[in-house]
Amino acid sequence: MTIKRHYIEVSGISVEIVRKEIKNLHLGVYPPEGRVRVAVPLKIDDEAVRLAVISKLGWIKRKQKEFAEQPRQSQREMVSGESHYYLGQRYRLNVIEHSGANLVRLNRKTIDLYVRHGADQKRREAVLGQWYRQQIKNLIPELLTKWEPVVGVHADEWGVKKMKTRWGTCNIGAKRIWLNLELAKKPIQCLEYILVHELVHLLERRHNDRFRDLMDKFMPQWRLQRDVLNKAPLGHEEWGY
């Protein structure tokens, strides 16, 4: 697929234009800073994009204001006493240096991180990140068993990886779904919403009226779940969906 990218400025707002082989114009505003991106068909010129952005300026500024006011975490230093999230709940990190294997234990109010003596911040992040990965991998099979029959599709492959630009992705040809590792930190309904979102892409590639109608059919409350996800505290470098 041919894709071309460049930027224009509209009323003091930087707008990324992505031209590709699509039929309709799609305008989005994305956290954490309210970045504006417009995906357009190859034949649409910059002036048409400018007019489309101007017609949505009020909405764009409201979304940017929402993102600016959204709570977010500072850079994590991986030391005892920090707040970390798991399935939407906040826990206090408790770092325990010992001579045994690296491991993580979840308690009622704390995440106990056992690491070898002298483990630096990067190593502590890696151990906790691997724990998050395993937790989300433990949750997905049950959710797939629940939702694949509802949507009427089957994902041949699925995986979890760290992504900065998407909560999930779907390779329709391979019927493969990827879910963002950061979803382990969000409420469980957010993970469920993104999983259903990607399953529905196996029926409809684009975010068009048919896609939204299918989401309404299978998960009538999906917009509420999307809002929960978008309003949850953002990670230090986290991007939205």
Q: What is the pLDDT of residues 151-163, one digit of tens each?
A: 999 999 999 998 8
User: pLDDT value at position 71?
Assistant: 61
Answer yes or no: is 35 within a domain: yes
Our measurement of the distance from residue 143's CA atom to the centroid of its chain's CA atoms, rounded to an integer in Å, reads 17
Asked if residue 211 has pLDDT above 80, the reply is yes
Residue 200 belongs to a domain with what CATH number? Answer: 3.30.2010.10
> CB of 234 within 8 A of CB of 71?
yes
Q: Are residues 141 and 177 in the same domain?
A: yes
Q: Are residues 105 and 35 in the same domain?
A: no
User: pLDDT value at position 131?
Assistant: 97
Quick one: 69 exposed, middle or buried, by C-beta within 10 A (0-12, 13-18, 19+)? exposed
Answer yes or no: is 76 within a domain: no
Q: Are residues 58 and 90 in the same domain?
A: no
Q: Are residues 175 and 88 in the same domain?
A: yes
Please state whether 87 falls in left (phi above 0), alpha (psi between -120 and 50) or beta. left
Q: Structural domain of residue 31, as residue ranges?
A: 3-69
**pLDDT tens digits for range 30-53:** 866 788 999 999 999 999 999 999
Asked if residue 82 has pLDDT above 80, the reply is yes
Tokens of 151: 């949507």
Q: Are residues 146 and 29 in the same domain?
A: no
Residue 205 banded pLDDT, cuts 50, 70, 90: confident
Asked if residue 241 has pLDDT above 70, the reply is no
CA geometry: angle at 32 spanning 27 and 33, to 5°?
A: 70
Q: What is the Cα–Cα distance from 75 to 112, expressed in whole angstroms? A: 19
Q: Are residues 146 and 94 in the same domain?
A: yes
Q: What are phi and psi of 177, to 5 degrees?
A: -115, 135
Answer yes or no: is 162 within a domain: yes
Tell me the pLDDT of the chain averaged across its residues: 89
Answer yes or no: is 224 within a domain: yes
User: pLDDT value at position 237?
Assistant: 44
Residue 1 banded pLDDT, cuts 50, 70, 90: low
Q: Order the strands of the 168-171 sheet from edge to edge.
A: 157-161, 176-180, 168-171
Q: Are residues 15 and 99 in the same domain?
A: no
Of the given ranges (39-48, 99-108, 123-132, 165-174), which has the lowest mean pLDDT? 165-174
Look-up of token digits 């975490």? 73
- What's the Cα-to-Cα distance from 120 to each of 6, 80, 116, rounded to whole Å? 40, 13, 9
136-145: burial string, b at 16+ Cβ within 10 Å, e else: beebbeebbe
User: pLDDT value at position 213?
Assistant: 96
Q: Are residues 63 and 101 in the same domain?
A: no
Percent of the chain predicted with pLDDT > 90: 75
Residue 219 DSSP one-character state: -
**Alpha carbon distance, N-terminus to C-terminus of the chain:** 22
Q: Are residues 33 and 134 in the same domain?
A: no
Answer yes or no: is 237 within a domain: no
User: pLDDT value at position 136?
Assistant: 96
Report the predicted TM-score, pTM, of the whole model to 2 decimal places: 0.72
Instruction: Give the alpha-carbon dihedral of 43, 206, 159, 137, to 10 degrees.
Output: 140
Structural domains of the chain, count = 2
The amino acid present at 110, given as its one-letter code, is T
User: pLDDT value at position 231?
Assistant: 72
Answer yes or no: is 103 within a domain: yes
Q: What is the mean pLDDT of residues 176-184?
A: 94
Residue 239 banded pLDDT, cuts 50, 70, 90: very low
Answer yes or no: is 236 within a domain: no
Answer yes or no: is 238 within a domain: no
